[in-house]
Amino acid sequence: DAGVTQSPTHLIKTRGQQVTLRCSPKSGHDTVSWYQQALGQGPQFIFQYYEEEERQRGNFPDRFSGHQFPNYSSELNVNALLLGDSALYLCASSLGRGAKNIQYFGAGTRLSVL
């Protein structure tokens, strides 16, 4: 039973570029949440996708967008990259979108913006 998988594991971009990160949820899960984790900080909620729609959003600008596909996998897109976007991006899946549902995290994508 595959857990949450994310790709790529590492990425280096320059300011102004765009990036797409991918996530496949744990088998049987239908909800995907994305988090940004800066070094030494806790994960910060970006948004959550359920039934192919964005259901909740954290305090992130519109440069951050996403998508969920019919197979529940998800993408996170970040446009016009800034140096401050350098972080570990974590995808978490759950069964259902309630905050009581346990989040299963992937290994993350480490994004470096130069």
Binding-site ranges for other proteins (CB under 8 A): 33, 35, 40-45, 48, 55-56, 58, 90, 97-100, 102-108
Nearer to other proteins, 16 or 96 (CB): 96
Which residue, 8 or 16, has its beta carbon nearer to other proteins?
Answer: 8
Tell me which amino acid residue 79 is: N
Comparing CB distances to other proteins, the nearer of 11 and 45 is: 45
Copy the structure tokens of residue 15: 């300011």
Dihedral sign of CA atoms 70, 30, 86, 12 in order: negative
Nearest distance from C-beta of residue 42 to other proteins, angstroms = 4
Pairwise CA distance, residues 87 & 3, whole Å: 22
